[in-house]
Structure 1
Amino acid sequence: MIQIFITMENNQTSATKHSFTYGMIIGVIMIALTLIYYVLDINTMDKSNRWTGWISTVIMFAGMTYATVNYRNKQLGGYISFGKSFSIHFFTGLFSGILSGLFMILFMSFVGAEFTQQVFDQAEEEMLKQNPNMTDEQIDMALKFTGWMLHPVSIGILGVLSAAFFSAIYGLIASIFVKKEDPNLPPVV
């Protein structure tokens, strides 16, 4: 059972509360980054602006690792199991993804509607450029799918799902390096 706002008996913050706190911090940073891109009129979907995705990825992964190392050092006396490390990585990324996903639903519904149309038009243009022999029926079907993908709720849900997926993958990899077994505990067989 997940207990988000419970503090353990020995005055140790629960891993879930810690993940929630850092997930919200990372989520706010990601939202601020989105707003900066919007104000500066940087189209993050444009191939020439792929660097925006790399910045977001580095911030997300660095934040998840910082949250886990911080919990290991301040709450667990410098030791953490692979499973606990994975759990903190995953839930930190998931909570950040949920906050960012909710923001994107609101942002794309109200503020970013013209951005959605711009991306839709760009996708249509790119599709016709790559496949000039498409029939009208194929174009309509592809545009219908693109329209569904660009719906604010779809963007939010896909954002949460991708955050969960990549948090799990990154958590598995990073936990190999972050884990530090307590030598005073018996080895797990």
Structure 2
Amino acid sequence: MDNLNQSTAPDPANVPYRPLAVRYGGIWGGASILMTLVAYLTNTDPSLPTTGSIKYVYSLVGLGVAIWAITTAIKTDRDQQLGGYIGFGRCVGLGTLTGLVAGVIGAVFSLLYMTVINPGFKEQMLSAMQEEWARQGMSEEQIEMAANMSGMFTNPVSMAVMQVVVGVIFALIISLIAGAVMKRERPIV
């Protein structure tokens, strides 16, 4: 009768979640690459201020993919690996690691995109930003100063680093929310 009172769920410390983070982070990163290529091929790059409202569609699709990747990784870990239980900390760790994987994949692709696929991307972006600033009524001197400052942050390496950092922070926020909703603590026997 003692066996009925013991939980059959595995100890989370003995079940690695890194493979799930790599799988779902890879899917998220792959979806980001696909969206970037579609935007490039259709000339609707959401990074450019002249794109218009299509950038909101890309943002919503990207948000949906991120939420799906993190929540699916957590649900898979909880239901298929941990016997239906998962703690809040593990949810946050798994989701954040998933975002890190996606961010690194996206950053590597961004470097490739900005240096090989679309080497004129930086100039396109700066030109579009300058047009937008002029439309907003900034003087030539202000535009030149803003362009010099923006130039430091629009080089491929700094943009790739920012993509990783923002991806991790974004994943952390989603993971905190998903963890609060999806956690299921093991009953204390």
Given that residues 153 and 159 in structure 2 are in contact (C-alpha distance below 8 angstroms), is that contact kept between their aligned partners in structure 1?
yes
2:21 alignment partner in structure 1: 19
2:53 alignment partner in structure 1: 48
2:152 maps to 1:145: no
Q: How many angstroms apart in 2 are the aligned matches of 1:47 and 1:40? A: 14
RMSD (Å) for aligned C-alpha atoms: 2.0
Question: Residue 36 of structure 1: which of 27, 32, 38 is its match?
Answer: 38
Question: Residue 110 of structure 1: which of 116, 120, 129 is its match?
Answer: 116
Report the TM-score when normalising by structure 2.
0.85
Q: How does 1:1-189 map to 2 (within 5 A)?
A: 13-45=15-47, 46-49=51-54, 50-132=56-138, 134=139, 136=141, 138-183=142-187, 185=188
Q: How many angstroms apart in 2 are the aligned matches of 1:53 and 1:171? A: 18
Q: How many angstroms apart in 1 are the aligned matches of 2:73 and 2:135? A: 45
Deviation at 1:181, TM superposition (A): 1.1
Report the TM-score when normalising by structure 1.
0.85
Deviation at 1:81, TM superposition (A): 0.4
Q: How many angstroms apart in 1 are the aligned matches of 2:173 and 2:165? A: 12
Deviation at 1:56, TM superposition (A): 0.8
Amino acid paired to 1:163:
G
| Larger CA deviation: 14-23 vs 157-166 | 14-23
- Where structure 2 has 5 or more consecutive residues not aligned to the other structure, the ranges are 1-9
Q: How many angstroms apart in 2 are the aligned matches of 1:101 and 1:116? A: 15
| Larger CA deviation: 40-49 vs 152-161 | 40-49
Deviation at 1:30, TM superposition (A): 1.4
Point out 4+ residue stretches in structure 1 off by more than 6 angstroms: none
Q: How many angstroms apart in 2 are the aligned matches of 1:127 and 1:54? A: 26
